[in-house]
């Protein structure tokens, strides 16, 4: 893959913080959704910086809950940044608690399997620890996790 310059908008100093990645397999359960909801409510008003892609349904739900809180957030896209920042993100960007990043080529307008993998790899590289909402042992996240054997992680709900 060709190296890409990071595109970003928001508070770049959030990259200097200790970061917890939140990732989840697409396959999940209602029990996983409940555990992730509780986890998000526990951390959303803490100082814990969460980095996520908000791609799967569970990741989107958790990101929405965290966005309503006060802790720092880093959103990593699997496509180029928006031409215009979505209205629902502007308050968090304006207050300095959100950074949106794209490690993908600025010409990529759609999420592909390759760009999603690159995004997830970037998230894991940046994280100090990972929380998996759900983890499908036969999925791409489990394969990716094996590339980072020393990184601490926990699984809220196995699939």
Average pLDDT rounded to a whole number, residues 83-87: 94
Mean pLDDT of 24-35: 87
User: What pLDDT, on a 0 to 100 scale, did the predictor assign at position 76?
Assistant: 97
The whole domain housing 66 covers 7-155
58, part of any domain: yes
pTM score: 0.91
Q: Does residue 2 lie within any of the structural domains?
A: no
In a domain, 82, yes or no: yes
Please report whether residue 54 resides in a domain. Answer: yes
Give the list of residues 6+ apart from residue 28 with CB closer than 8 angstroms, or none.
56, 57, 58, 133, 134, 157, 159
> Based on the structure, what is the number of domains in the chain?
1
CATH number of the domain bearing residue 132: 3.40.50.450
Yes or no: say if 64 and 73 are a contact pair by the CB < 8 Å rule.
no
The verdict on residue 73 lying in a domain is yes
Crossing angle of helices 57-67 and 30-43, in 10° steps, is: 20
**pLDDT higher than 80, residue 3:** no
Determine the average pLDDT of the residues in 117-127: 94
What's the chain's length in residues? 159
Residue 116 inside a domain? The answer is: yes
């Amino acid at each position: 893959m060709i190296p890409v310059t990071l595109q970003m908008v928001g508070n770049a100093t959030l990259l200097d913080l200790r970061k917890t990645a939140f990732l989840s397999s697409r396959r999940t359960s209602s029990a996983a959704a409940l555990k992730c909801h509780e986890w998000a409510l526990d951390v959303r008003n803490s100082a814990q910086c969460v980095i996520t892609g908000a791609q799967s349904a569970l990741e989107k739900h958790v990101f929405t809950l965290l966005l309503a809180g006060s802790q720092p957030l880093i959103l990593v896209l699997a496509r180029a940044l928006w031409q215009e920042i979505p209205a629902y993100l502007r308050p968090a960007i304006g207050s300095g608690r959100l950074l949106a990043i794209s490690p993908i080529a600025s010409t990529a307008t759609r999420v592909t399997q390759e760009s999603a993998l690159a995004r997830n790899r970037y998230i894991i590289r940046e994280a100090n620890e990972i929380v998996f909402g759900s983890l499908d042992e036969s999925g791409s996240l489990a394969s990716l996790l094996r590339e980072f054997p020393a990184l601490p992680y926990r699984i809220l709900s196995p699939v």
